Amino acid sequence: MSANVFERVQASFAQQQFMSTLGASLAAARPGAVEITVPFRANLTQQNGFLHAGVITSVLDSACGYAAWSVAPEDATDVLSVEFKVNLLSPAVGERFVARAQVKRAGRRITVCTADAFAMNGADEKLVATMLATIITMNSTSSKVRKIATVPGS
């Protein structure tokens, strides 16, 4: 996936209907790094009027999955989130939010990514959450494994 990383990630991202439901968009994708933004919207909030942790987690997860995908071998057919951990660091208060994922360790099968989420108010950015995620890369010979993991950004 050396060339046209953004286009390839965007093509898959556009199929994630949940990202559209959140109003999220792909902001950047290059080998090993992906950014996704999501605006503040009242219909994404929890009981105190802040963005629900699930919204932040959703864009962190998709960003990690696509970061892993951006460095996957040519014969990769898909990436699956095996698991992730999120620490919520500050209330998600802002006009919009950005999730920035980086590949920490890419392997033929298992890739580990980290991602930070920031609340943006004008030019200010504030760290609100951080993720550490494990992603498995599928190819045509491993498709049987699909049943034992779960789907990417899924």
Name the minimum Å distance from CB 122 to a second copy: 20
- State both tokens at 126: 């504030």
Give whichever of 28 and 114 is closer to a second copy, judged by the CB atom: 114
Give whichever of 2 and 147 is closer to a second copy, judged by the CB atom: 147
The binding site for a second copy (CB under 8 A) comprises 12-13, 15-21, 42-48, 50-55, 57-59, 61-62, 78, 80-92, 104-105, 107-110, 112, 114, 127-130, 132, 134, 136, 142, 144-154
How far apart CA 149 and CA 13 sit, in angstroms, is 20
Give whichever of 29 and 129 is closer to a second copy, judged by the CB atom: 129
How far apart CA 136 and CA 30 sit, in angstroms, is 19
Name the minimum Å distance from CB 108 to a second copy: 6
Name the minimum Å distance from CB 1 to a second copy: 15
Give whichever of 25 and 45 is closer to a second copy, judged by the CB atom: 45
How far apart CA 43 and CA 38 sit, in angstroms, is 12
- State both tokens at 132: 């550490």
To the nearest 10°, report the CA torsion of 7, 13, 14, 16: 160
How far apart CA 95 and CA 147 sit, in angstroms, is 39
Name the minimum Å distance from CB 146 to a second copy: 7
Amino acid at 75: D
